[in-house]
Structures are given as C-alpha cells and as structure tokens.
Amino acid sequence: MSDSPIFRCIAEWQGNRPWGRFLDAGTGSHSLRWVAGLQTDAWTAITGAEGMARQVRDTVSETQRSQDRIVVGDWADPDLLAGDSYDTVLADYLLGAIDGFAPYFQPYLFARLRPLVSKQLYIVGLQPYVPYFPDDDAGQVITRIGRTRDACLLLAGERPYREYPLDWVCQHLEASGFRVEQTRQFPIRYGQRFVQSQIAMCEARLPRFADAALAEAMAATLDRLRHEALALDDRLGGLRHGFDYVVSATPR
Ligand SMILES: C[S@@+](CC[C@H](N)C(=O)[O-])C[C@H]1O[C@@H](n2cnc3c(N)ncnc32)[C@H](O)[C@@H]1O
C-alpha cells in the first residue's frame, strides 16, 4: 500500500480488477516505486530523459523482473510502443512535463495514448497556478515562486512545465476517444521543502543568464522570496494553495 493519497485513490478505484500489463507513461522514482510494488503481469516505464532512466533503474533494481522494461523515448515519435497494448496506463504528472520535451504536443497526448490503453487510464496532474493572482497571502507567495521559477528557467535557456486544468483534461479525454469515469481533487499544502527546492532550482540557473546584472538582481530577489515564504509558512503552519487532481478514464 502506498503512502501517497493519490496512488491510494487509484488503487481504490481499481478495486479487485487486475492491473495486468501496466504502462507508466511518464515515469519517475515516485510512480515507478509504486508500480513495481503492484501485482502486474509486466510493466513498461517511459521517460524522455536518459538521466531519469538511470535514476528509476536504480530505484527498482531489486524488484525489476525480466518482463519489465524502462524505455527512453518521445511520445511525439509515432513509433514509440507502436502496436503495443496495456491493461492499465498511468500518466503521472506527464501532461505538464510534455512541453519540455515535445513543445505544443500536449493537446495530442491523450489521442496518442488511446491505442495503447485496452482497459483503464489514470491521469495525475497539477491544477495550473502560475498565471493567476490570488488574494490570500499563501496563494500570493506560491504564485510569486512559480512565476520567478519559470522566469529563471526561460532566462537560463530552458522550457518550464505547462500544466493544464482539470476541466481541460476531461474535455480532451472525451474528444480523444475516452469516457471520463471519476475525478478527485487533492488540496496542496506547500511547505519548507517546496520553498527551498524551488529557490535552489532558480539559483542553480543564475550562472546561465546572459545578463550578469540581471542574475545579480535575481539572486537578491530569490533571497527575499525565500525569507518571506519561509516566514509565512511558519506563521500559517503551511502554505495552502491549489490542488492536484486524478482522473480515471476508459476507452470508449
Ligand atoms: C514530472 S516527471 C513524472 C513524475 C513521475 N511520475 C514521478 O513519479 O516522479 C515527467 C516524466 O515524463 C517524461 N516525459 C515528458 N515529456 C515526454 C515526452 N514527450 N515523451 C516521453 N516522456 C516524456 C519525463 O522525461 C519524465 O520522465
């Protein structure tokens, strides 16, 4: 049993039905550790990054069976897993990440996955928060962190994630040959770990800014943001803002 409420929800929805052949369509240590602990006939884990493949290989080194495989590929490539079929497909925070690997491919992702899903698709995603301007203190500091992070990634020559809302996901699933069965929202409480890791991610990008004066000013901005966010986290006992969502869908 997983300690993640989202994976617990998926297991609850799945009930007594067998997982069968399982595809982790956007793998990472968190999802693959969970998948590798399920009673599957075989699993396949896809990532767009060689570095991620190495990481997940280590994560499952003790439990990976001969029928399980980790594949580096790009969902924009029509040959990836062409002709394969899986009883259960999990797209765990894949949608938002797609933009970093296959720009502008996000509206086609569910249609791309459709022929691979024989029984059940589960989508996990993050409701977008970066381009919004909430009134409450926690929301304001979280969106400032998100905007600053995305700005730093762009200024360092990288592509930020692009998340999509739950209603967009449901509409695109229906338009891509799926029937949406259930959805659930999981409110998020951000904390110290989030603040520190996001600011650290920004600081690591500063040396790649083309403009050294901008990098120096950004370093000061990041320092202020970290202190403000940590103080607010302390005062409020966590920074409650937004939600993750999970969707279950079946092929029509
Ligand atoms: C945010 S991570 C997923 C998190 C992961 N499920 C976990 O447990 O930590 C996104 C994953 O999707 C993969 N990905 C993103 N775009 C992709 C694409 N176009 N083709 C294949 N994999 C892609 C990334 O390489 C990464 O493995």
C-alpha count within 13 angstroms, C-beta hemisphere, residue 50? 0
* Burial of 244 per CB tally in 10 Å (0-12, 13-18, 19+): middle
Q: Which of 30, 44, 47 to mutate to test the pocket of ligand 1 (most atoms within 8 A of CB)?
A: 47
* Ligand 1 nearest atom to the CA of residue 99, by list position: 16
Question: Which CATH architecture is the domain 1-126 placed in?
Answer: 3-Layer(aba) Sandwich (3.40)
Bridging pattern class, strands 86-92 and 178-190: unpaired
Name the 3-class secondary structure at 40: coil
Pocket test for ligand 1, best of 94, 158, 161, 197 (most atoms within 8 A of CB): 94
Residue 102's CB is within 10 A of a number of other CB atoms, namely: 17
Nearest Cα to Cα of residue 228 among 142, 136, 130, 152: 142
Q: Is the pLDDT assigned to residue 1 strictly greater than 70?
A: no
Encode pLDDT of 29-43 as tens digits: 999 999 999 999 999
Q: What local confidence, expressed as pLDDT, does residue 64 receive?
A: 97
pLDDT at 3 over 90: no
The domain limits of the chain are 1-126
Our answer on whether the CB atom of 108 is closer than 6 Å to any ligand 1 atom is no
Contact 94, 25 (CB under 8 A): yes
pLDDT one-digit tens code per residue, 139-150? 999 999 999 999
Please report the DSSP string for 196-245 in residue order: HHHHHHHHHHGGG-S-HHHHHHHHHHHHHHHHHHHHHHHHHTSEEEEEEE
Q: Assess whether the C-beta atom of 215 lies below 6 angstroms from ligand 1.
A: no
- The pLDDT value given to residue 2: 73
Q: What are the pLDDT digits (tens) for 56-70?
A: 999 999 999 999 999
Percent of the chain clearing pLDDT 70 (strictly above): 100
What digits encode the pLDDT tens for the residues 201-251? Answer: 999 999 999 999 999 999 999 999 999 999 999 999 999 999 999 999 999
